[in-house]
Each structure stands twice: as structure tokens, then as C-alpha cells.
Amino acid sequence: MSIDTTTAARVAKLARIRVEPDDLEALASEFNTILGFIEQLAEVDVEGVEPMVSVTPQRLKRREDKVTDGGQQARILSNAPDAREGFFAVPKVVE
Amino acid sequence: MTDLNAMTIAGARDALRRREITSAELTAACLTAAEGASALNAFVHMTPETATAQAEAADARLADGDAPPLCGIPLGIKDLFCTRGVASQAASRILEGFRPEYESTVTARLWDAGAVMLGKLNMDEFAMGSSNETSVYGEAVNPWKVDERRLTPGGSSGGSAAAVAADLCLGATGTDTGGSIRQPAAFAGITGIKPTYGRCSRWGIVAFASSLDQAGPMGKSVRDCAIMLGAMAGHDPLDSTSADLPVPDFEAALTGDIRGRTIGIPREYRMEGMPGEIDALWTRGREMLADAGAKIVDVSLPHTKYALPTYYVLAPAEASSNLARYDGVRFGHRADLVPGDGVTEMYEKTRAEGFGDEVKRRIMIGTYVLSAGFYDAYYNRARKVRALIKRDFDQVFAAGVDAILTPTTPSAAFGLGEMAEADPVQMYLNDVFTVTVNLAGLPGISVPAGLDGRGLPLGLQLIGRPFEEGDLLNVAASLERAAGFVEKPARWW
């Protein structure tokens, strides 16, 4: 499996990380090194093995479905790069 | 009397309780040591006002006779832990300026136990690295130095290791996803334990790979780690994977008696090209445990060689999902936008500017292995191999083995910048002996066991049964006593 610059660009897009076109070749090459390393997994016999879901045999705890927290608008917005009138502000999304 | 900042937690606790020293004096000694160690770049945000106030409160508690073990003990906190009102940016530009409105469960427990916060410690960005060189703050430097080179303290908890080894604090928190407590502990000649997955709450710790991340203590002795772990551990309803089990008295488990315990030596850890000094140290460790009355047996963990490739599918996959939250909307950095930029440009520019190269690489690898068409071939296959790696350990423990002895790292600390030209996989090999433990969710501890020919510390790792940290710490204490490692780095900083 070899990754070309088109695939590298597609992955960068999916990850929402801007990569300059000039850097795609180096990125693709790094991906190929890492994926080449990962390829070893293909030789393991995993027939009949269930994919691990949780490393400790525990059932996730459940709790009563009720509100336990809230009313903290100022604290939630305190670290926002741009907060206005009680909202997170972002560039225009809908024309 | 030695400098106060050079004390162990156990020694300081006893001296504090006997009122021979005050936490105010101890804390001042650490703050002075830390301020004079900027060449190590271990502390990246100091909190002297908080420390002084906490020390005063601790002295009052000590005077009242209400003093839990960590009362008045000055600690450093890895930058990955959210600490209320104090910069917590996971050594990343993308969290520049972030001041959490909440406290992580682990640090909250430490403050409840009376501990004193000196400040935040350097690390690899988002805990992704083995040399502390991916940090936005610049690299932390190992206090051990044998020639003109500046050495790495390891990573990702490099600042924690450097600070403890240089006596800037009595102990420090670390986190470990693939070896990030144990490898830096080995490189800096200190002790560090990664507890069983679920032992410490992950709530309020910046997430990297949630199925592997665990917090743990880094300290100057096994006893100190036992004391700190007792305060850090415990069930937390805010972390659904936190284990609802009682926390035993880990310090009380240090009986020093390991007669009749069975120690496994896994043959697959004898790697080709392993330096002779590492192999010799491993043999000495085996002899020391045998002399202490343990039974030594050869064991096999056949899927060991697949642990690193498994990790480099699963950890990036989980990271790509966890780090999706850094979108420039709710916290941290947002890129400057130009007219016409929409929300997608905001995401892409913010993340390109905010993340360093290694973090971007892992997010994109994770994105790739989770993408349509590759999910089964990579992600699901890796989860199956992980099940086999865990089964290897289960079978060894079921056969009566109490703990497994291995080297911690394949080498001693290397020079900063020496791996700059190497491909990323070369750096990943640092974790070859430690990463299996995270994949299997087990407790693992690194104990300093000797110096190499150049005078740099080397560590041995012990791996224990799930949720039997007390037993593991006891075996580690026996190894510690036999190894008798007392060397300290000579001060040059």
C-alpha cells in the first residue's frame, strides 16, 4: 500500500489540517514509512479473535437520567477565542 | 542535613510530622531550586503564590495533627493536567492562553491530601513523543550530563523526570500512554509507575488515546511512588472507565519480603541488537530478585513484536478523534482569518498553526486508519492483535507468575537533536518494552538499577497483575534495595 500526494491531501482535508501543496510529497513519504511499519500486523493470525473493546472486563456504569450540572455559561465561554452575547462566535456558516 | 528540596516524600513527611521542618521552608527550597534551574526548562509555568498559600495551610493542618501523608509536600504537575486558573496547555500552541475553569480529579485529590503545587511541567506536545522535543515550550533537558552534549530527559513526561531528578520538587505527576512515565524515569534515574488502566481517573487530563492513557507518580523512591499513588488513585464517577475498587494502602504493601514470589523473564524482550549493557543489567536484575528469594522462570509473550505497530494504529486513531475538539471555537488558539474565509478555513488554518508536526502526523495517520475502506484492515485488525497481546499476559499470570522483569528502555538517554534526521519510526522504538503494558492495561514500574559505561542511568521495568500495584511496588522495592542506586546528577545547570 503506497500513499500518493492525492491521498495525503484527502487525509489532510478529512483531518481539517491545512497542508501546503509543496509539503504533500514529504507528508506522503512519512505516511508510507509509518504504514510500512504497521503493515506487519497483516501477518498475525487473528482468525476468530474478537476486537478488544475494553481492556478491563468491566461494564460501564449507568446512572439515573437526570440533570446534574449546568448554568455555567460564563465559565464555559471564558476561554473562547470569540464569544459574543452569550454565544461562541464563528465565521458565517449559512448565506 | 541535606538541602530540603533533596528530601524524599517519605523523609519530608516524617520530618514535617515531627515538626522538624515546615512546609513553608520546604516549599521555599523547592521554589528557589526551580527558579535556579531554567537551563533544564522543566517547569514551564510556576505558581509560587499558590504554593506559598498551600504550604501555610499545610503547616496549619500539621499543627492540628490532621496531616495526611502528602500534607505539605511540594509537587510538580505535568502540563497535561487541567489545573483551575493555571495555564494547562499540553505543551501545545493550540491551547495557548487556556485557563481551565475546573481541576482534574487527580490533582484535586493531591490538593485535598495537602500537597503543594509548585507549577506545571514540560512534556511532549499532547504527550506525543519520547524526547520532550515536540513541546511548544522547547525541550526539557536531562540533569544527567557526561560530556558536552545536552541529553533528553525522555518523554513524554520529560519535565517531570528532569524536575524530580534535579531535586526541584519532591515528586511529580506524569501520564503514560505508551511508556511516557517509565521511559523518562529510566533516562533520569528516578522511579515511576503507570498504574493499572482505570486505577486513576482520567477526568480533567487532556486526552491523547483514551483506552491507553493513565496518570501515575514519578518520584525519588518506590516508597514515594506508593505514597503518591495512594493519594492519586480511586474511583471517580466523572470517568466511566475508572475502576470502582477500594484503594489499598500501597505503602503498607512494602514488606520487603518477596520470598516465594514468581518472576517471569519474557524471552521475546531479548531484542536483536540490544546493547550489551542493557542485557547485562537485565541479568543482574534477575539475580538480585533470585537472591531476595524469588523464583525466576522463563516465560513467553509471543505477540510482543506486534505491540508497537498495534499501538501506532490505535493511539493515532484515538488521538484523531480526541483532538477533533481543537477547532478554534471553544478554547485555545484561533487563526487570523481573511475576508471570505468560512468555518472550514477557520478549522484548517487553526489546526495547521496550532498543532506541531508530530501531532499533525498522528492525527492524519489516525484519520487514515479510521477512514472508509481501511477501518477493518487497520483499526479492527489492531484491536484484535491487542486482544492477543493481552491474552499473552493473561496466560503468563494464570500460570502463576506474579511479576515480569524487563529492561525499561533499549538505550540510555540520547542527545537532544540526535534523532532529528531519523524517520518517526526510529523514535517510536523507544517504547518497545513499555508499550505492551498499556495495550494490556497492566501496571508497570521503572526502577533505576545502575549506570551505563558512560555514567548514565538505566532502568529495569517490572510488570504486575491488574490492580495489584501493592504487590508490584513491593517487588520493585526489593529490586531497588538490591540495586542500591543512590547516584545523583552533578549540578551543572
Which DSSP category does B252 fall into?
G
- Mean pLDDT (chain B) is 97
Each residue's pLDDT tens digit, B76-131:
999 999 999 999 999 999 999 999 999 999 999 999 999 999 999 999 999 999 99
DSSP state, residue B376: I
What CATH number corresponds to the domain at position B224? 3.90.1300.10
Q: How would you class B66 by CB atoms within 10 Å of its CB: exposed for 0-12, middle for 13-18, buried for 19 or more?
A: exposed
Mean pLDDT of B318-331: 97
User: Are B155 and B183 spatial neighbours (Cβ–Cβ below 8 Å)?
Assistant: yes
Residue B60 domain flag: yes
pLDDT at B274: 85
pLDDT-derived band of residue B397, with 50, 70 and 90 as boundaries? Answer: very high
* DSSP conformation class of B142: -
In B, which residues are within 8 Å of A91 by CB distance? Answer: 337, 341-343, 345-346
The pLDDT value given to residue B66 = 80
* pLDDT band (50, 70, 90) for residue A1: low
- pTM of the prediction? 0.97
Is residue B432, in this structure, part of any structural domain at all?
no
Q: What is the pLDDT of residues A44-61, one digit of tens each?
A: 999 999 999 899 877 788
Is residue A87 situated within a structural domain? no
Residue with cell 495512594: B230
- Annotated catalytic residues of B are 78, 156, 180
For residue B403, pLDDT beyond 60: yes
The minimal CB distance from A61 to the residues B240, B355, B360 is found for B240
pLDDT at residue B24 above 70? yes
Judge whether A9 lies within some domain: yes
Domain of A38 in residue numbering reads as: 5-42
Q: Measured between CA atoms, how close is A60 to chain B, in angstroms?
A: 6
Contacts of B326 in chain A (CB under 8 A): none
* Beta carbons within 8 Å of B60's beta carbon, 6+ residues apart: none
Measured between beta carbons, which residues in chain B are less than 8 angstroms from residue A47?
A: none
The whole-number average pLDDT for the span B467-477 is 98
Q: Is residue B174 part of a domain?
A: yes
B79 lies in a domain? yes
* Complete DSSP assignment for B230-247: HHH----TTSTTS-----
Averaged pLDDT for residues B176-192: 98
Residue B239 lies in a domain: yes
Count of domains forming chain A: 1
Which residue range forms the structural domain that includes residue B187? Answer: 4-258+442-483
Residue A76 lies in a domain: no
Mean pLDDT of all residues in B257-275? 94
Domain assignment present for B414: no
Q: Give the pLDDT score at B369.
A: 96
The residue behind cell 510538580 is: B76
Percent of chain B at pLDDT exceeding 90? 96
Q: Report whether pLDDT(A32) > 60.
A: yes
pLDDT above 70 for B2: no
Question: Mean pLDDT, to the nearest integer, of B248-256?
Answer: 97
Which residues neighbour B14 within 8 Å (Cβ) at sequence distance 6 or greater?
A: none
> What is the percent of chain B with per-residue pLDDT over 70, rounded to a whole number?
100
pLDDT (average), residues B309-318: 97
Q: Compute the distance between CA of residue A13 and CA of residue A87 in angstroms, rounded to an integer.
A: 27
Contact B348 A78 (CB under 8 A): no
Q: Which of B84, B86, B89, B101 to mutate to test the interface with A (most CBs of A within 10 A)?
A: B101
Q: Do A60 and B425 touch (CB under 8 A)?
A: no
Decide if A86 is inside a domain. no
**Helix or strand (DSSP H, E) at B382:** helix B381-398
ipTM: 0.96
Phi, psi of B424 (to 5 degrees): -55, -30
In a domain, B166, yes or no: yes
For B202-244, how does the pLDDT look when each residue is reduced to its tens digit (9 = 90+)? 999 999 999 999 999 999 999 999 999 999 999 999 999 999 9
C-alpha closest to that of B204 among B345, B280, B134, B110? B110
- Closest CA in chain A for residue B237: A61
**Is the model's pLDDT at A5 over the cut of 90?**
yes
Burial class (CB in 10 A: 0-12, 13-18, 19+), B274: middle
Out of A18, A50, A55, closest to residue B352 by CB: A18
Confirm whether B188 is domain-assigned. Answer: yes
In total, how many domains does chain B have? 1
